[in-house]
Structure 1
Amino acid sequence: MTTIWHQRIDEVLWDERVFKRDGHFLQSSHWAAFQRANGREVRFGEGGDWQCMTVVERAGDACRLYCPYGPVADDRAGLAAATEALRDLGREVGAGFIRAEPWVPVEREVLAGHGYEPARRSMQPDLTWVRDLAGRTREQLIGEFSANNRNRFRNAHKKNLTVTAGRDPGDVEILLGMLHDVADNTGIRQHADDYYRRQAATLLSRDAATLYVVRHEGDPVGAALVYDSPTTRYYAHSGTLAAARRLHPGAVLLATMILDARDGGQDLFDFVGAAPAGDPDHPWAGFTQFKQSFGGRYRKYLGTWEFRL
């Protein structure tokens, strides 16, 4: 049976099904809306045991489909059905190949059996660090922070540090200032400013993100944008001023976001990307150590795969 791919769907029902399947935020209608804000075409397809939001990426005469953390499938049969539907769509839009990050409980060998080949590089992290929130009290979570992080959070008021959370897209300018400072001091390459502006305008207006600012005596010294699904909070973008490092605003900010997620009824805090254990030379090693100081566990994904049409 041929799958009919749609450009518009019932967003509430789509997201309910994605998150019921423990699917990732990047398969939600919210991320699709952000892709459209970037001028890209998106398509939605689903069957009884799978669903997938895919981005039609075009560059001149070239075209490919990209499924960020998708397709989402219940099992091997769902993966097979989703793969066949993606092949049909790829031929329809003239794609040369399909890039996918299947979200399905199978081993990597199963993907190869369906014609997938590992991509040369991952588009989204295939390893992350997560903090379970469900069934934990605030004090239990704080008790699992490192001793330094507990003290920094509990004594933030003594350093005149305050944290606010909001959904004003204008506050993204504060975040941009922090990201510029990080880039200047570390050489990390960031997206263009308008990328963050479009993301904030799109996601904050849909109540699918929260923008946090930490201030010292009223002046911003750190900021972060987190994505929010009913089940999970994602640590998407953050930065703090190098000049304020002795105040440790990043620790106070992250602790607050974790505890707010717990208070809001979310089950998981996803730190979005982590270096593998035992690899101190990995470029993410230092930041991963910081994330791990708040407690949690590794979560491994299948990674990025491709198949030619």
Structure 2
Amino acid sequence: MTNATLPQPAPPSATNGWSAWDAFLVSVSETGFMQSSWWADFRVEAGYGNFGVVLRNRGAILGGAVVLTYEYAPGHCFYYIPEGPVLPAGERAASEVFATVLGFRAVPGFKDCFMESRDTLCIDLRPPEPAILAQMKPKGRYNIGVARRHGVVVIEDNSRRGLASFLRIYQATARRQGLEPKPRAYFEGLTRKLAALGQGTVFFAEHRGRRIAAAVVVYLGSRATYFFGGSLAASRELMAPYLLHFEIMMRAKAMGCEWYDLWGVAPPGEPDHAWQNISVFKRKFGGVEVRLVPTLDLVYDRVAYDRYGTCG
């Protein structure tokens, strides 16, 4: 790639390595928080290493990637780029970068292996509140009203009590859905880091002082992302999750966010998908469905790759 073919964006305000990268990410609405330096640092707790690759033109960052590394056996590792790489905004420059990764391919044995969700649902927060409500499914709007009439309120709590409340709701939801919950230590580290950096918070829907639904939300630039959450089945008739997510949207909008990413839905036309029930709920908020590029692998060691086997 040559300087003559590259656009010339304004350079980031920060100058040191990770800070400059994070400042660049804030301006790129197409990527997610898993390309941020704090996420790479957080995953160190799970045994991942990391390094960064940056594309520059005359000192200005154009794109790149945070690369996570994981040693799954002595002397054997894989590299993983979650929600990346981040390509230059200019179509011509992006095409040149993309051309260099054509050797990456989806391998049949791994075609259904996604470490993060491939299909997601994003709500446009740029219109006024009445328009955001109007684009929802009628049942979604109705259930927001039901929760309000029952006196459900939405609060934020990043304290130790908040963590305990979140875990109670999250674990109950995981058991109900037959999922393996992440351990307490994962959320201790995650919520501590989000609160310290001001890049996320824990929301709750309360009814008469009892917390009955919860959501961990992460902020990056113009995007707010629903990362984890749940609700108590015993309070289903209160419709608390509907008001919870609507209030999260309105608070994110007030902060300047333009999109609310509901983080994963079942692909269209797959009624037996494990996420089908939660997807029915999420789709009541309307929005735009997004299908991401599938997982792509570049194999350096064919023998080791075959030995690693299929996902799971």
TM-score, scaled to structure 1 = 0.81
Alpha-carbon contact 1:33-1:202 (below 8 Å) kept: no
2:36 equivalent among 28, 40, 47: 28
Partner of 1:219: 210
**Deviation string for 1:224-278 (max 9, x for gaps)?**
1011112101111011111111111111111111121112110111111111222
Mark the CA change 1:77 to 1:183 in structure 2 (over 3 Å): closer, same or farther. Answer: same
Which one of 134, 140, 144 corresponds to residue 143 of structure 1? 134
Return closer, same or farther for 1:157/1:24 CA change in 2, 3 Å cut-off.
closer
TM-score by length of 2: 0.81
Say if 1:44 and 1:53, in contact at 8 Å, map to a contact too. yes
Q: 1:43 corresponds to which residue? A: 51
* Cross-structure match for 1:87: none
Cα separation, 2, equivalents of 1:146 and 1:306:
38
Instruction: Please state whether the residue corresponding to 1:238 is helix, strand or coil.
Output: strand
Instruction: Check if 1:14 corresponds to 2:21.
Output: yes
1:123 partnered with 2:115: yes
2:298 aligned counterpart, secondary structure: strand
Question: Distance between the aligned counterparts of 2:255 and 2:261, measured in 1?
Answer: 15
Letter of the structure 1 residue corresponding to residue 159 of structure 2 = D
Partners of 2:188 and 2:68 lie apart in 1 by 20
How far apart are 1:203 and its partner, in Å? 1.8
Q: State the 1:169 CA deviation.
A: 5.4
1:108-136 CA-partner distances (Å, limit 9, x unpaired)? xxx5x3243343311111211111112x1
Equivalenced residues, count: 272
Q: Give the whole-Å Cα distance in 1 for the aligned partners of 2:199 and 2:46.
A: 17
Residue in 2 aligned with 1:70? Answer: 84
Secondary structure of the structure 1 residue equivalent to 2:297: strand
* Structure 2: stretches of 5+ with no match in the other structure: 2-15, 57-61, 89-93, 301-312
Query: Which 4+ residue blocks in structure 1 deviate beyond 6 angstroms?
Result: none
1:202 to 193, 204, 209: 193
Amino acid at match of 1:165: E
Contact 1:234-1:269 at 8 Å conserved across structures: yes
- Aligned-partner SS, 1:307: coil
Per mean C-alpha deviation after superposition, the further-off stretch among 72-81 and 50-59 is: 72-81
Q: What corresponds to 2:239 in structure 1?
A: 248
User: 2:294 is aligned with what amino acid?
Assistant: G
- Equivalent positions of 1:144-293 (< 5 A) are 144-168=135-159, 170-293=161-284
Distance 2:47 2:193 in 1: 13
Structure 1 counterpart of 2:106, one-letter code:
E
Alpha-carbon offset, residue 39 of structure 1: 4.1
Match of 1:114 in 2: 103
In structure 1, give the amino acid aligned to 2:185.
D
Mean CA deviation greater in 32-41 or 188-197 = 32-41
Shift of 1:279: 2.2
Gap regions ≥5 residues in structure 1: 2-8, 82-110
Instruction: Give the distance between the partners of 2:220 and 2:122, measured in 1 at CA.
Output: 15
SS of the equivalent of 1:302 reads coil
